Structure formats: C-alpha cells, structure tokens
Amino acid sequence: MLQAIFIVLSVITLGGAVAVVTNKNVFHSALFLVVVLVGVAGLYLLLEAPFIAMVQVLIYVGAISTLIIFAIMLTRRLMNTHQRQRNEQWLLSATVCLGLLLVLVVLITQAHWPVVQANVSEGSLPRLGQDLMERYVLPLEVAAVLLLAALIGAIVIARERMP
Amino acid sequence: MIPLSWFLLVAAALFCIGLYGVLSRRNAVGILMSIELMLNAVNLNLVAFWRYRAPLDSLGQAFVLFVLVVAAAEAAVGLALVIAVYRSRETIVMEDIDLMKW
C-alpha cells in the first residue's frame, strides 16, 4: 500500500519536474513547479516528517511559488511562447544529465544501505524544537540574520532608482 | 516499508532534471525554478537519510530547515536581481545578459 502511494507520488513529482524544465510557457512551468513541491511534501509525509512537509507547503508552495509567479508576470511581455526557450547547448546538457543520472542510479542500486529501525511517530517534533533552541541555537540565529539580510538586499536591489 | 534506495532514486532523478533545466533554460526565472528543483532533491535526500539512518537524532530535520531558509533567501534575492536586470536591460534572456563576460 505504502509502496503504491510512493510510486504515484514519485510519478507525479518527476512528471511535473520534467514539465517544469521543458514547458515552453514559463507561467505553466511555475504551475507545474507547485505540483512538484506538493508531491515532495507528500514524500516527506511518507517519510514520517509531517513538520517538514508542512513547512514545505507553507514556504515553497505558499511563498516562493507566489514570488516566482510575480516575477514571471512582471517580466512577461518579453518572454512569450513564440521565443526559443532552450539555448544551443541543451543537447549537450541533456547528455550530461542523463550520464549523471545513470551513474547515480548504478551507484544507488549497487550499494548496500543499512537501515536503523525506529518508531519516530511521536516525540520527533518536540525533540526538533528543543534541539533548535539548544544545540542549534547559533545556526538558527545565523539563519535569522541571513533572512533579514536577504530581505533588505532584495528590497534594495528591486527598488526603483530615485530620479 | 519502502526501501531507502527508492527515495534516493527519486531524489537523484529530480536533481538531474533540475540540472538540465539550469543548463538549458534561457529564461532567468526558469533557471531559478530549476534551482528550486535541485534544492528539493537535496532536501528529500536529507529527510530520507534522517528517517532511515538516524531517526532518533533531529540533526537531519534541522538541516532541512536551514536549507529551506537559504532557499527562501536565494529565491528572494534572485528574483529581485531578475527584476532589476529586466528594468535596466529590458530582457531576462541569459545569453543577452553578458555585460560581465569578456
């Protein structure tokens, strides 16, 4: 049963990903990106990480995809579907990516992956919160400063120049 | 239970698709979307390894949260750059943005 759900989610995710990179219309690509992000959130749920899945939906589906759609609409006039969407090196890129995928698939299927059995359905989220406040409090603060810097930087970069 | 390697295979495929998008797209926003795909593949790997290798340690999930923060910052700054470039050069085709190439 879980395997069937996993296969359905993976097909949706990977199909959406292919649509994101090959679609001629960038706006449609952004909508397919939402499908991919929701599919990955479903995979997180299968991995028993509901908090990560929720954060994924909130930040990626809620914020980042909205930002991307905004940017597409602000720059839409020049990127209509009649224009070429691939550059000259797309065939070479496809070869390189297929080669990399082949190497990774061979490596992953050949290797032995030992698994630690554990029941994580309860207690994983409180532990994460506690660790974020104790063990990882410095990275957490650095992340906060990074977000603030990125916010200010984005505003400064995108602002209209004063006449 | 789903084998760990299945998740790794899906993440590898997602990463390679994103890499293809980064290398072959002409639209700057398209490239940013492909970068998001690659970041998602890495996050999927991190969560899978956390669940199957160290489920009692929250380091895996904490790492995913920090990657999410960096991804959000990257998307905000990247899209602001795209809009700034569009405003000054009237294009977001990557081949035409070659001022710093020699």
pLDDT tens digits, A109-151 = 998 888 888 777 777 888 888 989 999 999 999 999 999 999 9
pLDDT band at A78 (very low <50, low <70, confident <90, very high): low
Where do we find the tokens 């602000």?
A74
Sequence length of chain B is 102
What is the topology classification, in CATH, of domain B4-96?
A: Helix Hairpins (1.10.287)
Question: Given this model, what pLDDT does residue A19 score?
Answer: 94
Listed in sequence order, the residues at least 6 apart from A58 whose beta carbon sits closer than 8 Å to its beta carbon are none
The residue extents of the domains of chain A are 1-81, 121-163
Candidate from B2, B62, B81 with C-beta closest to A128? B62
ipTM score assigned to the predicted complex: 0.91
Structure tokens at B82: 């795209």
In whole angstroms, give the CA distance from residue B10 to residue A28: 23
CB contact under 8 A, B40 and A153: no
Residue A79: is its pLDDT beyond 70?
Answer: no
Architecture of domain A1-81: Up-down Bundle (1.20)
Contacts of B1 in chain A (CB under 8 A): 2
Query: CB of A116 within 8 A of CB of B52?
Result: yes
The residue extents of the domains of chain B are 4-96
Beta strands in chain B (DSSP E): none
pLDDT band at A81 (very low <50, low <70, confident <90, very high): low
Q: Which residue of A has its CA nearest to B21?
A: A21
What DSSP assignment string belongs to A30-80?
HHHHHHHHHHHHHHHHHTT-HHHHHHIIIIIIIIIHHHHHHHHHHTGGG--
pLDDT tens digits, B20-67 = 999 998 888 999 999 999 999 999 999 999 999 888 888 889 999 999
